[in-house]
Structure 1
Amino acid sequence: MRHQDQVLLIDADDTLWETNLKFERTVASFCELVRPLGYPDEHVRRQVDQAERANIARRGYGARSFLLTLEEVYLGLAGHRALDSHLEEIRRFARLLVEEPPRLYDGVAETLAYLAPRHRLFYFSKGDAAEQARKLALSGLERFFAAHEIVPEKNEAAYRALVARHALPPAETWMVGNSPRSDINPALAVGLNAVFIPSAHNWEYENEEIRSGPFIPSGVEGGRLLFLKSFHDLREHF
């Protein structure tokens, strides 16, 4: 895999930068906000999780959808006790998710700088297009990518469309990401290669069993799936 001129499709959230942990912290702040209503944190978290999954199906991913989730859960829990000041605090939570620059993982910028002259790098993320583009701009990483692709959902159809749109050679194309559900399984299913870099704080929604392709331990080459411990390790293989 050390030869040049391969195509690396690179995920963003929880691959290049920390995302889910920010949402987890927001949920913790939300639990603290509604605690005076008398609901255990575990109950509040279950309500948020259920509402979030329903809203993803209707409205997609991102901070705006998450804001609607928190507002919906708050109004359901508070009822006639709902306060405008609490709703404004919830909106502040959502603004921080969007406005704060992404916190890059260690070695990401240096690794992209190493890879960009050697391979074609694609920024391939899912969610709200404006939100994902804003995060890329704030990250300072935009210059490393030959193309930016943002889709509502990263499923097999999205991968096939991307391959067709850019005439990508499947045997030389690798999806790099942390999510079995969105990065690894659909890429392998359409005949691409994949690099799995687990996140310490992966979103439960993105977890599923890796369904196809041999699982190759770090440092062992061959096959269509490579497991690495960190983004920086890409330099040892590409």
Structure 2
Amino acid sequence: MHTTAGPARQVLIFDADDTLWENNVLFERVIDDYLDWIDHPTLDRTEIRAILDDIEAANAVTHGYGSKMFLHSLGQTLERLRARPVTEAESRHIEQLAVALLENRVELVPGVAETLTALGARHDLMLLTKGDTEEQQRKIDASALAHHFGSVHIVPEKGVDAYLDLTRAYDLVPESTWMIGNSPKSDILPARGAGLGAVFIPNAHTWVLEQTDLDPQDNRVLHLKAFPELLNHF
């Protein structure tokens, strides 16, 4: 496992959802309530969830990420299950199930604020998150964490190009720049593809569509168990 050493300042780029604050667990709670409400006569919860996952995966390509896409996917799933359009009453019920998402409530991951304060005293911090711009900005504002970061970036997708663009725009040195996040798909692999180091901090509620395998032999990927452990390495 690679650990950093020495006093030199580094650039640390942070993911937001499910790294700085809990996010997908809110969606999972809505899905649980949604599955209770549907109570399908022939399909079980696992089968219905598989349908929803497929619909979300397709919608993410054309509609992006966030609660709007999620609500749209819930409605489409219901339409497929019922073989008819969603009624106005059903649409209202789905929105009521998802009220916590629509209000952009933020619950920080334990130790985040204190850890960012300490890291910011010795390194340069940036924030890189993907999703709907207005929705992500509301969550950033609600988190009260923006002051920790020298710059904040909201992008529609976090592929290799997003990291290369950031590297070029800020003249970042890949060897001393690290991406920190919970998503193998959006945080770790594309950052490594752009030549940056990466820190993987898993979240038990990470969205299934963000999961993929990591190379256990890649010594430029640091695996941690909890956010405050960053202080032992940076």
Q: TM-score, normalised by structure 2?
A: 0.92
Quick one: which amino acid aligns to residue 177 of structure 1?
G
Match of 2:132 among 112, 128, 141: 128
Question: What is the aligned-residue RMSD (CA, Å)?
Answer: 1.8
Asked if 1:198 corresponds to 2:194, the answer is no
Q: Say whether the 8 Å CA contact 1:175–1:192 is kept in structure 2.
A: yes
Residues 60 and 81 of structure 1: CA distance in aligned 2, closer, same or farther (over 3 Å)? closer
Match of 2:177 among 173, 186, 192: 173
Counterparts of 1:144 and 1:6, CA distance in 2: 15
Spell out the pairing of 1:49-60 with structure 2 (5 A cutoff): 49-60=53-64
Alpha-carbon offset, residue 135 of structure 1? 0.6
Quick one: which amino acid aligns to residue 228 of structure 1?
L
SS of the aligned residue for 2:12 comes to strand
SS of the aligned residue for 2:125 comes to strand
Of 205-214 and 86-95, the range deviating more from structure 2: 205-214
Q: Say whether the 8 Å CA contact 1:185–1:211 is kept in structure 2.
A: no
Task: Give 5+ residue unaligned stretches, structure 1.
Answer: 216-223
Counterparts of 2:171 and 2:217, CA distance in 1: 23
Spell out the pairing of 1:109-188 with structure 2 (5 A cutoff): 109-188=113-192
Q: TM-score, normalised by structure 1?
A: 0.90
Asked if 1:226 corresponds to 2:222, the answer is yes
CA offset digits 1:190-227 (Å, max 9, x no partner): 11111111112221111111148624xxxxxxxx2211
**Which structure has more RCO (C-alpha within 8 Å, separation ≥ 6)?**
2
Residue in structure 2 matched with residue 19 of structure 1 by the alignment: 23
Count of residues paired in the alignment: 230
SS of the aligned residue for 1:157 comes to helix
Sequence identity percentage: 40
Q: Say whether the 8 Å CA contact 1:37–1:78 is kept in structure 2.
A: no
CA offset digits 1:98-118 (Å, max 9, x no partner): 314211111001101111121
